[in-house]
Amino acid sequence: MKIKMQRLSLVSLFFFFGWALIAAGHAMAAEAQISQDVEYEAGFYYTVQKGDTLWDLSQRFSDSPWQWPDLWRENKQLPNPHWIYPGERIRLFRKSDQHRQETPATPAAPRVESAPPADLPPLQVDYMYSSVDRVGFIRKPAVQSVGIIFKSEDDKKLISENDLVYVRHPDNHKTNAFMPGTRFTVYKTRQPNNDRDALRIYGDQHYFLGVVEIVKSDREYAIAKVMKSFNAISVGDLLMPYEARQPTIPVVDSTPGIKGQIIASEEQTRIMGDRFIAFIDKGTDDRILPGQVYTIQQEHSARTGGRSIVLEPVAIGSLLVLRTEKNTSTVIITDSRRAIEPGQPISTP
């Protein structure tokens, strides 16, 4: 009996470890998938034109045709580096340290699909950001809300996707605003969280929480279904008309002579880095457009000869404009070589 019990214990132990390994494998696979989704939800892309080759594109984007293997490595959707076709999208990248270590011995250039034109066509680079619908803004005066959530199904405190909510118009007589099938963005307003009072003059931050769709309209209220949930939704949150935005943003020339600063991060963190959403103090009045790229700078000073002098700013990152308001713009930090903070200067590259 004792031997049987020992065998049973060993079998149970092996079963447990086997199950643990399988569970760990699934967890690692899920984590890898999430990481991959995050990695490719944002980035610069080039649309292949007739006559393009990886060899030529490496010359144009990386200043060296010999880096085409790196470009191919970063675009696993290309089965054969020797053949690329018009209309395909190639993800551009910032060379990593490990790639700089590699010095391949004169790799063969990919075959040319067709003879390149004498005059190179203008670069058609886009920035892809699949989460653009959840990007808020700073505006003054604040948006006039068209509705408010006053109750949730089963009185849930935290509302999420597929939940039903009850909404009403600020003017209870305007029930025609809630036609079935109409979508609204759920948001709340808040002040930028920083200690610079001067920055508050730019208005309220409109923080997006999700998207709802009206499923039934009554005389004094409407019932809506939560279609997307970006952040926790709760009773008292506001509605504005839903505006579908394209995730592909063409990169355009920056406005000359721009000098401004970062107001705050969307999540109101004190430190920002790559792919953080932030706000700058320049907008349409300053000829800022979506798709423009600006440099993030670090100011330095030093003492010499018994006095303090201001040194030339150093570039520590870059940002791309996602949407614009009159005096502010919403941006994504596309490159940060050190920590970015509110108040950091920006300028035209």
Q: List per-block mean pLDDT (blocks of 10 residues) for the chain, which spans 349 residues.
A: 41 40 40 40 86 85 80 85 86 53 41 46 83 95 95 92 94 73 96 57 94 93 96 96 94 96 94 96 97 92 72 90 97 95 95
Q: Is residue 311 in a domain?
A: yes
| pLDDT at residue 260, as a whole number | 96
- 54 and 112 share a domain? yes
C-alpha dihedral (276, 279, 280, 283), degrees to nearest 10: 130
Give the whole-angstrom CA distance, residue 129 versus residue 123.
19
Please name every residue paired with 336 in a beta bridge, in sequence order, or none if there are none.
317
| pLDDT at residue 254, as a whole number | 97
Asked if 197 contacts 249 with a C-beta cutoff of 8 angstroms, the reply is: no
Q: Is residue 129 in a domain?
A: no
- 73 and 91 share a domain? yes
Peptide bond into 104 cis (omega under 30): no
Q: Is residue 128 in a domain?
A: no
Asked if 329 contacts 282 with a C-beta cutoff of 8 angstroms, the reply is: yes
DSSP line for 116-155? PPSSPPPP-EEEEETTGGG--EEESSPP--SEEEEEEGGG
C-alpha dihedral (155, 160, 162, 168), degrees to nearest 10: 60
- 266 and 318 share a domain? yes
DSSP line for 236-281? T-EEEE-----SEEE--PPPTT-EEEEEEETT--S-B-TT-EEEES
| Secondary structure (3-state) at 320 | strand
Domain final residue pick, 64, 93, 123: 123
> What are the C-alpha distances in Å from 159 to residues 153, 167, 239?
9, 13, 15
Contacts of 288 (CB under 8 A, 6+ apart): 255, 258, 280, 282, 321, 324, 329
- 109 and 156 share a domain? no
CATH code of the domain covering residue 342: 2.40.10.410
| pLDDT at residue 301, as a whole number | 66
Tally the domains of the chain.
4
| pLDDT at residue 120, as a whole number | 55
Angle at the Cα of 51 (from 50 to 56), degrees rounded to 5? 130
Token digits for 215?
């499923």
Q: Is residue 101 in a domain?
A: yes
Q: Is residue 131 in a domain?
A: no
Q: Is residue 246 in a domain?
A: no
- 233 and 150 share a domain? yes
Structural domain boundaries, residue 14:
1-40
Domain final residue pick, 94, 123, 152: 123
Instruction: Tell me phi and psi for residue 304, to 5 degrees.
Output: -150, 140
Q: Is residue 65 in a domain?
A: yes
Domain final residue pick, 92, 123, 154: 123
- 176 and 267 share a domain? no
Q: Is residue 100 in a domain?
A: yes
- 285 and 340 share a domain? yes
